[in-house]
Amino acid sequence: MNTHALLPLWDARFKRYGNTHYTLTLGKWVLMTNEPENVKVILGTKMAEWPIDGTRLHASVPVLGRKSVFTTNGAQWREARGMIRPSFVRDQVADLHCFAKHVGNFLNAIPKDGSTFDMQELLLSMTMDSSTDFLLGYSTNSLLEPSPEAKQFLEDFEYTSREAAKKSRLGTLLNLLPNGEFQAAVTRVREYVRAYIRKSQAEKTDKKERDYVFLHEILKSGADEEHAIDQVLSVIIAGRDTTAAAMTACFYYLARNPEVVKKLRKEIFDVEDEMPTWEQLKNMKYLNMVIKEGLRLFPPASTNSRAPIKDTVLPRGGGPDGKQPILVPKGQVVRWSLYSLHRRKDIWGEDAHEFRPERWDENLRVGWEYIPFSGGPRICLGQQFALTQIEYALFKFFRAFKSIEPRDDNGPLLLRTNLTVTFAKGCLVSATPDSN
User: Domain containing 83 — which CATH number?
Assistant: 1.10.630.10
Does 116 fall in a domain? Answer: yes
Does 338 fall in a domain? Answer: no
- Average pLDDT on 311-330 reads 97
- Average pLDDT on 412-420 reads 79
Q: Structural domain tally of the chain? A: 1
CA distances from 330 to 221, 271, 325 (A): 37, 55, 16
pLDDT, position 356: 98
* Residues whose CB is less than 8 angstroms from the CB of residue 188 and which lie 6 or more positions away in sequence, other chains included: 152, 153, 156
- pLDDT tens by residue, 351-360: 999 999 999 9
396 has a pLDDT exceeding 70: yes
Q: Which domain holds residue 398?
A: 55-299+370-433
More confident residue, 215 or 253: 253
Does 133 fall in a domain? Answer: yes
pLDDT, position 368: 97
* Residues whose CB is less than 8 angstroms from the CB of residue 89 and which lie 6 or more positions away in sequence, other chains included: none
Does 8 fall in a domain? Answer: no
pLDDT, position 166: 79
- pLDDT tens by residue, 32-53: 999 999 999 999 999 999 999 8
Does 25 fall in a domain? Answer: no
pLDDT band at 212 (very low <50, low <70, confident <90, very high): confident
Choose the weakest-confidence range: 172-186, 232-246, 253-267. 172-186
Choose the weakest-confidence range: 43-47, 173-177, 183-187, 337-341. 173-177
- pLDDT tens by residue, 68-78: 989 999 999 99
Say if residues 268 and 395 touch (Cβ distance below 8 Å): yes
170 has a pLDDT exceeding 80: no
Q: Which of 134, 434, 96, 99 is nearest to 276 (CA)?
A: 96
Does 314 fall in a domain? Answer: no
pLDDT, position 142: 94
190 has a pLDDT exceeding 60: yes
363 has a pLDDT exceeding 90: no
Does 192 fall in a domain? Answer: yes
Top mean-pLDDT range of 42-56, 154-168, 278-292, 361-375: 278-292
pLDDT, position 206: 46
Residue 380 assigned to a binding site: yes
Please list the alpha-helical segments (H only) found in 203-344. 214-220, 225-236, 242-254, 258-269, 278-282, 285-297, 338-341
Does 3 fall in a domain? Answer: no
